[in-house]
Amino acid sequence: MKITYTAQSDTGSVRDHNEDYFAAFPQENLFIVADGMGGHAAGEVASRMAAEIISEFYERTQNKEITWPYKLDRSLSYSENRLVCSVRLANQKIFKESIANTKRQGMGTTIVTATMSENTLYIGHVGDSRAYSISPDRTICQLTRDHSLLEDFKEARPDVTEEETENFPHKNVITRALGMRETVQVDISSHELEPECVYLLCSDGLSGMLSDQQISKIICETATLNEATETLIQAANDAGGIDNITVLMFQSAA
């Protein structure tokens, strides 16, 4: 399977340092975006740790005989188990580091990961970093559900209005992240891999600044993934750039 991808991270227009981190491992068809929290020298440590631990686990488990730190969930496929296990391991190590090092207490990170096997795309995530699919006809589909107070509020109130959503006072508060507790629940989903679709992983520095329709329009009207990545980041900065902005896009060849 041939995958083309591009990625870029930007500090944004307001923050003085970048706590986001991305990683791509084409040999494993593995892509990661993490959005750290906990302040300078903490959030950026957590996001980098998450990506490195996940990628190291994938490298070690190329040999299927190796012992995993967690038992297989029989309701999940091998690929899903591998993804969930890697994220749970990252959570455990980040949590232990935050306990052991006083300068890193309270650090954590969101994570969104994507991997492929044959014609199936697997998405694993914790927090409010997102995954999208964008089809050539500009249909954009969010493949993840934010772990946030806003999403919990919307779930409890199906009739919530757009105005109530916009004015919700705690919409940036996340309810789940790596490093918050010793264990974590990882949401996993599988999707048929569509060669004509563009897949986007991003931090909330992008999705919080641009609407889904704006994101889709830029991607579909831009000639290359590289140009689309740069244009998305510029648009997020033009809209305020109040957070770090990370964009990773990939597409499979037909």
Tokens of 147: 């772990």
Give the residue among 33, 30, 19, 81 at the shortest CA–CA distance from 55.
30
Instruction: Answer yes or no: are the C-beta atoms of 115 and 180 closer than 8 Å.
Output: no
174 DSSP assignment: B
Instruction: Answer yes or no: are the C-beta atoms of 246 and 8 closer than 8 Å.
Output: yes
Q: How far is CA 117 from CA 2, 77, 83, 97, 192, in A?
A: 12, 11, 12, 32, 10
C-alpha to C-alpha distance for 160 and 93, rounded to whole angstroms: 38
Q: What is the pLDDT of residue 220?
A: 96
Q: What is the pLDDT of residue 34?
A: 98
Q: What is the total count of domains within the chain?
A: 1
Which residue range is the domain that position 239 belongs to? 3-252
Q: What is the pLDDT of residue 125?
A: 98
Bridge partners for 4 per DSSP: 251
Q: In sequence order, which residues have a C-beta less than 8 Å from that of residue 243 and are 6 or more positions away? A: 12, 14, 15, 203, 204, 205, 208, 209
Q: What is the pLDDT of residue 105?
A: 87
Strands 108-117, 30-37: pairing is antiparallel
C-alpha to C-alpha distance for 21 and 17, rounded to whole angstroms: 12
- Positions in the chain short of pLDDT 50: none
Q: What is the pLDDT of residue 184?
A: 97
Q: What is the pLDDT of residue 4?
A: 93
Q: What is the pLDDT of residue 106?
A: 87
Buried residues in 54-65 as b, exposed as e (16+ CB within 10 A): bbebbeebeeee
**Count of Cβ atoms closer than 10 Å to residue 149 Cβ:** 16
**Count of Cβ atoms closer than 10 Å to residue 137 Cβ:** 8
Bridge partners for 132 per DSSP: 142, 200
**Residue 190 maps to which CATH number?**
3.60.40.10
Instruction: Answer yes or no: are the C-beta atoms of 233 and 13 closer than 8 Å.
Output: no
Q: What is the pLDDT of residue 254?
A: 59
Q: What is the pLDDT of residue 226?
A: 96
Q: What is the pLDDT of residue 175?
A: 94
C-alpha to C-alpha distance for 173 and 227, rounded to whole angstroms: 32
Instruction: Answer yes or no: are the C-beta atoms of 165 and 99 closer than 8 Å.
Output: no
